[in-house]
Structure formats: structure tokens, C-alpha cells
Amino acid sequence: MDAERFQMVRQRVRARVKKTAVVHHDLTRIFNATKNFSRTALTNGDLESLGIKLSHLDLEGDPHGGHQTFYQPLPKSELPAIDWGSIEFSNWTEGDSDEVHRVEYTLQHVSNEVWCSWLVDDKQVSWVQQGCYHEEPRVASGEHTPDVPYEWQTCAEFEASSIDIPHCGFRLYHYAQPEEPLRRSEVLPIVGYMRWRLTQFDYIRHYTFPVVVISIFRSKVRILHAYHDGNHLHISKSHFVDFKENKRGNYELLVRWIHGVPCGDTTAPLSIEGEELDESTSKVIDHTLKRFLRKSRAQG
């Protein structure tokens, strides 16, 4: 890479970071404010003060409320046949922990069956079930201390195998009764994961970092779809699906979202004014670009 091309890349990276820095600061504001809430269900006033735009998510992927769409469920026609005889269904027993882990355990088995079918057929897949959030400390992956309203935990994270796709997702279980309003324990991991991923240089081409969540409250589950457009955090939530009974169709629905289709233009610049970069950030950008340049030359 010659000096002229290096400067062109540098300008583009700086232009991107100027805008994503605005998003990063807003996500930090939302995270800190939500963390301090004593109530668990967010009111309309809470959503307004946080700058969260909430809409309904259709479980077949139809957009609502003018929100952009960055995820679609896998079409039914592309879902492989599932060997239901190999799935270990268990009977419902009441309890915060028992109910959550019953759903999670069965869902993981069904998801594994889908993966195995695709491996046998040598099908190319977009998603890899692996960690998509590596912040230290992991402030957005769970709360387990006595001072929190109830325990919650993320698990089964997944991301795309290609850095051309910045989308990610995870399952989220709450030791709490389901309630219709958006919950504190749903906002915190969404914001935390999104904030961490937008700082990763591998995704420097992207401005938008969509997140999809399988949110499990005892025996009821809903899907959340979130992204930040530079001005607001947009979250779409579906209605709850009841998993008290072992219905194959319900598990198929969740698996179609876990193995869903990433979509939307995540590389489009945000329609906001960026903020000026301080000297420290500028030095980090230059250092990182020069390191990539040295690596590229060594490999060349």
C-alpha cells in the first residue's frame, strides 16, 4: 500500500470512527442509566428518556413501526428435516431455574440437529456458535449478585463466520416471571454486546451492529431485534410464545431465528454529524493501520 492509498484508508477510517463514537457514547449512556434502574420493567417514560424506539416484531419477519430490518427468520423451506425421535423432551416442572433450563436444553438439542443435518449435506452456513462478546470484565453477560432484582445470564452466543456480517445474537435467560414491557435485563446485554462489537477493528467497514436475542422467561420466550441508527436505539420485540407444552412448531420457530438470514446495509454511513477525535484516538487509529500495513507487507 503506497502512501497515497494509506492516507485514503486513514481518512475513511477516521470518518467512520467519528460517527460510531457518537453511537458508542450513547450506548454507554443507555447502559449506565439502565443499570441504575431499581425497577425491572421499563415504562414508556423510561424508554423516552433512554432514547429507545420500541416496536412490534412479527415472528415471520415482517417489519413494523418503520424500523429497519437486519434479520429474517430462516424460510421454512430451508429448514432441514429434524429427527424428533432423537430430541430429549422433558416434562414441565415449576420454578424459575427448572423452567428456563428445560427450554434452553431442548432448544440446544434441536439446534444441534439442524447443524448436523447441514454438515451431512455439506451446506454452507452463515453462523458459528461461538463467543461474540469478549469485553473484560463481562459487564453485559449477566448479573448474579444479591443486590440485583433477579439473576439473568446470556448463553449460546453466535456470530457470522465472515467479517462482512457484523450481526450477532445470543440466548438470554431470566430467573423471573415474564412481563410484556421491555425489561432491564434485556436492554443491558443488547447495549453491552453492541457497544463492544462496534469497537472491534475487524468490523471497521460497518456502522450498524444488529443484535438478535432469544429471550427466555421461565417457560415463555420472545425474540428481540435491535440496532442503533445514530440517533436512537431501536428494539423490536415479538409476543411471547408459550413452551410449557412440548410443541415441535415452537422449537422450529426459534431455530429459524437462531439460524436466520442476516440482511440490511450495515456499511451505510449514519445520517449524523460525527464528533472530533481526540489525540489519543487518532494515535490508536494510526498505530492500528500501520500494524495492518506491516502485516500485509509481510504476507505479501
Whether residue 296 has pLDDT greater than 70: no
**Mean pLDDT score, 157-168:** 97
What's the confidence (pLDDT) of residue 6? 82
What's the confidence (pLDDT) of residue 64? 63
What's the confidence (pLDDT) of residue 1? 57
Domain assignment of residue 274, given as a range: 3-299
pLDDT tens digits for range 20-60: 999 999 999 999 999 999 899 999 999 999 999 999 999 98
What pTM does this model have? 0.95
Confidence of residue 132 (pLDDT cuts 50, 70, 90): very high
Higher local confidence (pLDDT), 288 or 157: 157
C-beta neighbour count of 266 within 10 angstroms: 19
Whether residue 66 has pLDDT greater than 80: no
What's the confidence (pLDDT) of residue 299? 67
The count of structural domains within the chain is 1
What's the confidence (pLDDT) of residue 208? 99
What's the confidence (pLDDT) of residue 56? 94
Higher local confidence (pLDDT), 61 or 56: 56
Of the chain, the percentage scoring pLDDT greater than 90 comes to 86
What's the confidence (pLDDT) of residue 300? 60
What's the confidence (pLDDT) of residue 3? 77
